[in-house]
Structure 1
Amino acid sequence: MDLEESNLTPKGLLPTPPVLPWREFADWIRMADDHNTVWGWIRNGYIPSHKVGKHVMVNVALLTQQLLEKEWLA
């Protein structure tokens, strides 16, 4: 796939912070139309998260590390 075909905006090319609010994470992974699925992943422990006050934050740094470790083990 060509970069022009992917419809990425300059904002989509910025580095990701280590944590994101879970809805922003869902938008970032292009699941904006299916927030309930992402919430289910978080609730079932498939995506590392942490509650800060009343906000649920996705630990993007830990998720990235886990995915990279899986790549090496495969």
Structure 2
Amino acid sequence: MDTEVPDNQKLIGPPPLMPWQAFAEWIGMGHEPVVVRTWLERDYLPSRKVGKRLMVNVALLTQQLCDED
């Protein structure tokens, strides 16, 4: 029997904010990160500036997607 320790991040879900580059990797767009950056610039994705960093607001995006259904 395999007793692999589960990844805590997989158990609790995505973080509320995620750097846009990491978000691009997470959704499978790591080979074209400029696409995700353009989505942010056009306000297709909710974002928040934290210091110098532009973060994708994953919590708000999740809520918006749930509200659409």
TM-score by length of 1: 0.77
CA apart distance, 1:64: 0.4
Distance 1:27 1:17 in 2: 14
CA apart distance, 1:54: 0.7
- Encode CA deviations 1:16-66: one digit per residue, 9 max, x unaligned: 111100100010001000101000000000000011111001000000000
Match of 2:20 in 1: 22
Distance 1:64 1:34 in 2: 22
5+ residue gaps, structure 2, are 1-5
Percentage of matched positions with identical amino acids: 49
5+ residue gaps, structure 1, are 1-9
- Equivalent residue pairs, number: 61
Q: 1:54 aligns with which of 14, 32, 52?
A: 52
Match of 2:34 in 1: 36
